[in-house]
Amino acid sequence: MLNFTVITIFPAMFSSPLAAGILKKAQDKGIISVRLVDLRDYTTDRHRTTDDSPYGGGQGMVMKPEPLIAAIEESRKSLQSPRVILLTPRGKVFNQAEAHKLAQEKDLVLVCGRYEGVDERVKGFVDDEISIGDYTLSGGELAAMVVIEAVSRLVPGVLGNVKSSQEDSFSDGLLEYPQYTRPEEYRGVKVPEILLSGDHERIQSWRREMSLKLTRARRPDLLRTAQPSPDERKVLENPRAAVYLALLHHPVYDKNRQVVTTAITNMDIHDIARSARTYGVKAFYVVNPVKALQKLAAKIIDHWEHGYGSHYNESRKEALSTVRLKDTLDEVIMDVERESGGRPKLVVTSARAGGQRTSFAQLREMLKKEPNPFLLLLGTGWGVTETILAQADHALEPIQGGTDYNHLSVRSAAAIILDRVLGTAKDQGEGL
C-alpha cells in the first residue's frame, strides 16, 4: 500500500488521469491511494491568496511560504514518516531507479508549485526536490502525476502480473524490442518470420538482439548502464581494424641524440601488456636486438605464463600471453602481415612537436574504415629515430597536459594512447 498526498492549487488537474486505467484499478483495489489537498484551504486571508510579487522586482508571482508550509506540516503530523517531495525544474532528474526507490515508501507527499515557483524558504521543509526532465512546465502538477504513475506501476499488485514491470523498457536498462500484432501482413509490411515460428528460445534471443541494437542506435548512453554480457557485446561490436602495439628499444635516441638500444624493463612489459589486453590489442611486441635482454624478458614472461606465476595470477598470465619478443621492427611488420594478411599501417607516437600529425579522433575513424591492421609504435629512451619516423604512415599528435612539463613514462603514454584510440568512454562514440 502506497499513499500519495498532493498539495496543489489545482486539484482538478488530477481527476481524469486518476479515474482511468491502471491507476483507477489500483485505487479500487486499495493498493494505492491519492489524497488531493487544496492549498487554498491553508490560506488565512479572505481572498485565499497563495502567491505574491517577488522581492527585488521582476515579472510574475511567487508562491507564498505560509500556506505551503502549513499544508506540509499538517501532512507530516497526520502521517507516520512521509517523504515530502517538491516538484521543481531544479530538482534531481527523475528516472526509473528513482521510481523504484520511491515505490518502497509508505507515504509520499508531492508539493506542486505554480507561477515563477515557490519561496526559497519552503525548500527547508521538504526532503527531496525532483524534476521530471529538461523542459519547461507551467507548474508541478503534471510532473507530480508522472511521478504517481511511474511509481505506482512498481507497487506490488498494481500491474496484473509481476513479470510485466520487469519486461518494461528501462527495467533492464534497454529500449523495448519491436512489437507486432495481427494481421500478418499490413500494407505490404510483413511481421518478422521468426515471431511466427513458435520457437520461443530463438524469439527471445531475437528480441534481446533487437533491444540492444535499437538502444545502441537511439540511446547509446543507456548501454553503459545496461552492462550487456560478453556474448551480447559481440552482437554489437563494430568491425574495426586489428591494432598491434610495439615497444621499440632500437633504434631510439638517447638524450644526446645518439642512436642507442635501451634496456627492457620488467614493469614496462607487465603494465603495457595489461593495457594492451584491456583494450583488445592483438599483440604487444617488445623490440630489442640484444639477445641477453631478450633472454631476460623471455624468462620473466615464462614465469608468469607457464611457471609459478601462472597459477599465482591468472589475469597476469592472460595479459602476458599477448607479448612477443622481436629483434627488429621489420620482423614485427612481417609477423603482423603473416597473422592478419595485410601490411600494417605504421603509426608512430612522439612527444616531440612538429610535422604533419594525425589526431586521435582521426585515427579512431581510420580504424573503422581501413581494412589493414595498424601497428602503434612506442619509442623508449628519447624517442624513435628520424629513419623510423620517415617510414611511418602516420605520426600521432603528442599527448599534452597543458603545462610546460612533458615527461610521461612510456607505460603511461601507452595507456593514454590506447584509451584515446580504442577506449569507449561516454564521449568517445559508440557507447559500449
Cβ at position 131, least distance to ligand JD8 in Å? 4
C-alpha torsion sign, points 216, 221, 223, 224: positive
Q: Residue 45 is which amino acid?
A: D
Under DSSP, is residue 342 helix (H, G, I), strand (E, B) or coil?
coil
Nearer to ligand JD8 among residue 127 and residue 314 (C-beta):
127
Nearer to ligand JD8 among residue 119 and residue 172 (C-beta):
119
Rounded CA gap, 396 and 255, in Å? 22
For the question of residue 178 being annotated catalytic, the response is no
For the question of residue 420 being annotated catalytic, the response is no
Cβ at position 393, least distance to ligand JD8 in Å? 51
The single residue of 65, 89, 220, 398 carrying the catalytic annotation is 89
Nearer to ligand JD8 among residue 17 and residue 91 (C-beta):
91
Rounded CA gap, 262 and 267, in Å? 14
Nearer to ligand JD8 among residue 131 and residue 288 (C-beta):
131
For the question of residue 116 being annotated catalytic, the response is yes
The single residue of 11, 114, 153, 316 carrying the catalytic annotation is 153
For the question of residue 127 being annotated catalytic, the response is no
Rounded CA gap, 143 and 14, in Å? 11
Cβ at position 151, least distance to ligand JD8 in Å? 14
| Strand-strand pairing, 185-186 and 189-190 | antiparallel
Which secondary-structure segment (H or E) carries 287?
strand 284-287
Task: List the one residue out of 375, 413, 410, 381 whose CA is nearest residue 394.
Answer: 375
Rounded CA gap, 23 and 15, in Å? 11
- Tell me the CA distances in angstroms from 113 to 79, 99, 123, one per residue in order: 22, 21, 12
Rounded CA gap, 85 and 93, in Å? 13
- Tell me the CA distances in angstroms from 198 to 163, 192, 195, 209, 380, one per residue in order: 20, 12, 7, 18, 61
DSSP 8-state assignment for residue 218:
H
Cβ at position 56, least distance to ligand JD8 in Å? 15
The single residue of 116, 149, 209, 339 carrying the catalytic annotation is 116
Cell numbers standing for residue 397: 599528435
**Greatest extent of the chain over all pairs of C-alpha atoms, in Å:** 98
Question: Which residues fall within 8 angstroms of residue 175, CB to CB, at 6 or more apart?
Answer: 169, 211, 214, 215, 218, 219, 222
Nearer to ligand JD8 among residue 138 and residue 400 (C-beta):
138
Nearer to ligand JD8 among residue 96 and residue 165 (C-beta):
96
Rounded CA gap, 264 and 246, in Å? 13
Rounded CA gap, 122 and 68, in Å? 7
Establish whether the linkage from the previous residue to 67 is cis, with ω within 30° of 0.
no
Cβ at position 220, least distance to ligand JD8 in Å? 24
Cell numbers standing for residue 152: 505506482
Cβ at position 52, least distance to ligand JD8 in Å? 14
Nearer to ligand JD8 among residue 123 and residue 364 (C-beta):
123
The single residue of 168, 331, 339, 419 carrying the catalytic annotation is 168
Nearer to ligand JD8 among residue 116 and residue 305 (C-beta):
116
Q: How far apart are the first and last CA of the chain?
A: 39
Angle between helix 21-28 and helix 141-152 axes, rounded to 10 deg: 70
Task: List the one residue out of 280, 392, 279, 289 whose CA is nearest residue 333.
Answer: 392
List contacts with ligand JD8 (CB under 6 A). Answer: 87-89, 91, 113-117, 131-133, 135-140, 143
Cβ at position 219, least distance to ligand JD8 in Å? 19
Cβ at position 346, least distance to ligand JD8 in Å? 53
- Enzyme catalytic residues: 89, 116, 153, 168
